[in-house]
Chain A
Amino acid sequence: MREDLGMAIADLKRDLVIEAVTQRSAQGEDPLAILEECRHGMTIVGDRFARGDYYLAELMLSAQVFNMAAGILEPYLSRARPSKPQGKVVLSTLKGDIHDLGKNILASLLRAQGFEVFDLGVDVTPDRIVDKVKEVRPELVGFSALMTGSYPTMKETSQMLKDSGLRGGLKLMVGGGVTTPMVKEYLDADFQTLDALAGVEYCLSVVGGGRK
């Protein structure tokens, strides 16, 4: 059954996944076990992407299917025992930019790997990020960008994290269409990528976890 649900997610059989998760959770199966099967499906998706068999479209669609399954499980999970997250990540698209496709894919993939993701949305100001970092103490902070105009806000946020003494306790990553190693250097960030899955691998390497 683990293979069936996982494979259904990996093969993007959306209706089948929804039906199976709805039925099995209503029948009283352990929601954490069902979620684990869904995560296994996302690992298969990741492997296919890494081999070049899957593209961003399939990553995006599988993330959608996973989110639907997680949404169905949510009421059952809240009654089940809490599980310790792999780690905490704060994500945002900064002020001056409202593009969120890449960020949303990364957020879904991280959740599928057991991370607790605090997605602050788009057009986010530096102080909101600093406040959230103070509140949740994440291992990682991620900036997403499709517009060069958000570079100064990213730089300001990076500096504010340093000035608040928060930067040492976390890794800063940046991704999105206009980012390059030059942007990583400009921000004094730890990691840059255009590839959502590479972002997941980096987060896992930071927290010392492996893909589920």
Chain B
Amino acid sequence: MTGGSLTPDERVSAAVRLEKPDRVPVVPLVTAESAAGLAGITQAQINSDTNAALAATLKVFDEVGGWDSLFGGGVSTVAQRQAINMYPMKGLTPGKDIADNDVFQLVEEEVLLPEDYDKICEMGADRFYHEDYLWRIATFTPQEQPKVKEELKAVSRRYRTEFEKRGIGPFHVTAEMHPFFRLSLMRSMVRFTEDLYFNPEPVERALKAITEELISKQVHIAKKSGVARWMFVEERASAFFYPLSVFERFWWPYTEEVVDAFWAEGIVTIFHLDSCWDKNISYFRRLPKGSAIIELDSTTDIFRAKESLSGHLCILGDVPATLLSLGKPEEVEDYCKKLIDEVGGNGGFILSSGCAVPPDCKPENFRAMIETARNYESSRR
């Protein structure tokens, strides 16, 4: 991607190290769903053919002249995401369960039962998922599973190769849900919240077990991947949902433990933080300087977050999904300029979409985001 003196990798790494690169890097979260919308193919097509999803992603990348790093899990179908424990929920697949151009949906229902908390502790989280839980939600049979996984491996290899040809590397290779978020999705939010308030001990036992297993497996995998960043996803633990007493008891201690374990190996944690974290942001100052990236989805006040975390942790975000869907290119451009000036001012900032680029993002708005990152700072020099 042109528009500066550094390579895309150098630019991103400088921002993560809290430095001010030649220009603010732009790393949008472009999923297969985003790419389908931007490339003008249906959601059903990308869910039945990962080659079509990859082709759509490459088309979008090439048409806008590229961005600085690959963020997210590449291209995959609902079934593949279930198979690799990326989405531990029942899913509705476009073209099969819902209309061709509806975006896939996760079904919020109680699948994990109260007695399963201790089952997770006894069996181990990974084994419990693959031997038991998966077969309560899967859209494929055990016989079909190897094929589902093999297809994902193949398209992931092609995805990486295609982008290597374009000089673009992954922002991260591994990703995991926070144990708190994982349990909430598996149990459903209402049931999980009841457990937290009315029967918390089994939840705590499971959180502890999942955290230990996550550290023992994922640090090794992330290290082996050769990319010193990994993604940690949490969408439900903020003070938008829970009081700080819940956050401090059920979320923060496990979070610190995980970040410290990765940071001990020099691996930076990318926090994907959806919902409003205004009341929680100051906690992240307790993490070691430079050990994490805070990705915000536009519901958290990114400008206040910058005041709180400036010079301590890199911030990534947060062009709002609604602005990308309904706004005008000049409005997107104005917002990106404000982010670059105010959040990127002293470095440690990566411009991105707030959460994933929505599938109904207007192509001209996506282009405005990318081009503002590429041209704005040099145009002022």
Mark A residues whose CB is within 8 Å of B: 12, 14, 54-58, 60-61, 64, 95-101, 123, 147-149, 151-152, 177-180, 182-183, 186, 194
Q: Which of A61, A96, A177 contacts B193 (CB 8 A)?
A: A61
Q: Is the pair B326, A14 in contact by a Cβ cutoff of 8 Å?
A: no
Q: Would B322 and A183 count as touching, CB distance under 8 A?
A: yes
Residue-wise, chain B 176-203 has the 8 Å CB interface mask toward A (1 for contact) of 0000000000000110011011100000
Q: How far is the CB of B195 from chain A (nearest CB, A)?
A: 11
Which residue of chain B has the shortest Cβ distance to A123 in the bound complex?
Answer: B98
What is the size, in residues, of chain B's interface with A at 8 Å between Cβ atoms? Answer: 34
B326 partner, pick from A60, A149, A151, beta carbons under 8 A: A151
Tell me which residues across on chain B come within 8 A of A179, comparing CB atoms: 322
Partner of A57 from B243, B358, B359 at Cβ < 8 Å: B243
Residues of A within 8 A of B102 (CB): 95-96, 149
Complex interface bits, B79-123 against A, C-beta within 8 A gives 1, otherwise 0: 000000000000010000011001101011000000000000000
B169 at the interface (CB under 8 A from A): no
- Interface pair A149/B322, CB less than 8 Å apart: no
A sample of 7 cross-chain residue pairs with beta-carbon separation below 8 angstroms, ordered by A number, consists of A57-B242, A57-B246, A64-B194, A96-B98, A96-B102, A148-B322, A180-B320
- Which residues of chain B in 298-350 are interfacial with respect to chain A, using CB atoms and an 8 Å cutoff? 299, 320-323, 325-327
Q: Supply 15 further A-B pairs (C-beta < 8 A) apart from A61-B194, A186-B326.
A: A55-B240, A55-B241, A56-B241, A57-B196, A57-B197, A64-B190, A64-B194, A97-B105, A98-B108, A101-B189, A123-B98, A147-B105, A148-B321, A179-B322, A182-B326
Q: Interface residues, chain B, CB within 8 Å of chain A?
A: 92, 98-99, 102-103, 105, 107-108, 189-190, 193-194, 196-198, 239-243, 246, 275-276, 299, 320-323, 325-327, 358-360
Q: Which 7 A-B pairs have the closest CB atoms?
A: A148-B358, A148-B325, A55-B243, A98-B105, A56-B241, A57-B242, A180-B322
Which A residues are in CB contact (< 8 Å) with B323?
182
CB-contact partner of A177 in B105, B239, B299, B325, under 8 A: B299
* Nearest B residue (CB) for A100: B108
Chain A positions within 8 Å of B105 at CB level: 97-98, 147
Q: Which chain A residues lie closer than 8 Å to B107 at the CB level?
A: 98
- Contacts A180-B320, A182-B327 given: A148-B360 contact, CB under 8 Å? yes
- Interface residue from A61, A101, A178, A180 paired with B108 (Cβ < 8 Å): A101
Residues on A with C-beta less than 8 A from B326 are 148, 151, 182-183, 186
Instruction: State the Cβ distance, B290 to closest chain A Cβ, in Å.
Output: 31
Contact status of A60 and B193, CB under 8 A, knowing A55-B239, A183-B326: yes
Inter-chain CA distance A101–B108, complex, in Å, is 9
